[in-house]
Amino acid sequence: MADLEMKHLESFLAVAEEGSFTRAALRMNITQPPITLRVKELEAILKVSLFERTTRRVRLTSAGRVLLEKLRSTMQSLEAALEASKLAGQGIVGTLRVGYTGIASNSVLPKLLNMFGLLYPKIALDFLGPCTTGEVLLALLNQEIDIGLCFLPVEDKRLASRRLRATELMLALPNRHPLAQVKNIRIQDLAEEPFVTYPAKGGFHLRAAVDAECAHAGFRPRVVKEERWTQTLVCLVAGGMGISIVPGEPRTSGMVEGVTFRALRPSQNPLYHGIVWRKGDPSPYVANFLKVAHKAFRPRPE
């Protein structure tokens, strides 16, 4: 079958459906001799007669009828495959893998998914998370995901990022804490306080942000308990185990009874929720997701 080409099958199909070499040539917009030659070559390759030829008509043999039946089904499958490939190349169908952190993604992921789903309903989304920012970035570098939603900035030069929205760090205090009644709290006032905060290991961007805030104020936080999740930290604060510095989002949730939130004064750097991807990634899915993110949040290049 090494000599079999698509032109042989297309010519056979045209003749079989038209019942005439002349009409098949008109249909394919070529002269009759090439079609006649292709059909003869196909019969030679298959070593069977596909048509009974008379001066008046062309009729399929039993071998020709079987080939026509199978070929129609095959051509339909081939057309479907080619169309699917075309749509995949345009990023219209397929799968996009998204990794996300907890707090960093809560405020951006629902909006992105809603808009992306409306614009690209045939794209399936696979999720990895919630993870730490470090875990998201590692998954990107290992090509386990295509898009990451996490805190910025990103230092690795192999990755590109955009800011989606900013958030502020807040001080979380038990309601009965003396400082809970103070509106303007200086970070320096927290030097002797017990902290419940994020783990120092494992790629927690928020822990680095907390340590940086305290370092700028001239002290290291006295950590008495580490936990991965902001919700858990807020519960520990409510239970009087210590104070915490967390993103501002939990104050709007329904799980903060017994906790007072205060803005940090002064706060050095705002936190940014962002989108991260591999530099030079040619994936149309990534390109389309970035377009949606731009529409949803009007991000600035990082």
Structural domains counted in the chain:
3
Give per-residue pLDDT as tens, 176-205.
999 988 888 888 989 999 999 999 988 888
- Cα distances (angstroms) measured from residue 278 to each of 201, 246, 268, 287, 288: 24, 28, 29, 11, 14
Q: What CATH number is associated with residue 24?
A: 1.10.10.10
pLDDT at 302: 47
**Average pLDDT of the residues in 291-296:** 91
Question: Is 114 a member of any domain?
Answer: yes
Binned at pLDDT 50, 70 and 90, residue 299 comes out as very low
Residues 108 and 56 in one domain: no
> Percentage of residues in the chain with pLDDT exceeding 70?
90
Binned at pLDDT 50, 70 and 90, residue 301 comes out as very low
Question: Is 227 a member of any domain?
Answer: yes
Residues 17 and 142 in one domain: no
Last residue of a domain, one of 83, 102, 117: 83
Residues 290 and 141 in one domain: yes
Question: Is 207 a member of any domain?
Answer: yes
| Domain extent at residue 156 | 94-166+272-297
Question: Is 258 a member of any domain?
Answer: yes
The secondary structure of 247-283 as a DSSP string is ESGGGGSS--TTEEEEE-BS--S-EEEEEEEETT---
Residues 44 and 186 in one domain: no
Residues 65 and 146 in one domain: no
Average pLDDT, the chain: 87
Residues 198 and 122 in one domain: no
Residues 154 and 217 in one domain: no
Which residues, listed in sequence order, are joined to residue 165 by a DSSP beta bridge?
A: 273
Residues 250 and 175 in one domain: yes
Residues 33 and 105 in one domain: no
Binned at pLDDT 50, 70 and 90, residue 231 comes out as confident
**Average pLDDT of the residues in 285-301:** 82
Binned at pLDDT 50, 70 and 90, residue 286 comes out as very high
**Structural tokens at position 224:** 């008495």
Give per-residue pLDDT as tens, 100-146.
998 767 778 989 999 999 998 888 899 998 998 999 999 999 999 99
Question: Is 250 a member of any domain?
Answer: yes
Question: Is 128 a member of any domain?
Answer: yes
Last residue of a domain, one of 51, 83, 115: 83
Question: Is 183 a member of any domain?
Answer: yes
Residues 155 and 291 in one domain: yes
The rounded distance, in Å, linking the Cα atoms of 54 and 20 is 11
* Position 70 pLDDT exceeds 50: yes
**Average pLDDT of the residues in 238-262:** 80
Residues 284 and 146 in one domain: yes
* Position 210 pLDDT exceeds 50: yes
> Percentage of residues in the chain with pLDDT exceeding 90?
47
The rounded distance, in Å, linking the Cα atoms of 148 and 137 is 7
The rounded distance, in Å, linking the Cα atoms of 212 and 193 is 16
Residues 59 and 107 in one domain: no
68 close to 60: Cβ distance less than 8 angstroms: yes
Q: Name the least confident of 2-16, 91-105, 209-223, 249-263.
A: 249-263
User: Which has more pLDDT, 264 or 109?
Assistant: 109
Question: Is 33 a member of any domain?
Answer: yes
Q: What CATH number is associated with residue 243?
A: 3.40.190.10
Q: Name the least confident of 74-83, 162-171, 182-191.
A: 74-83
Q: What is the pTM of this model?
A: 0.67
Last residue of a domain, one of 35, 61, 83: 83
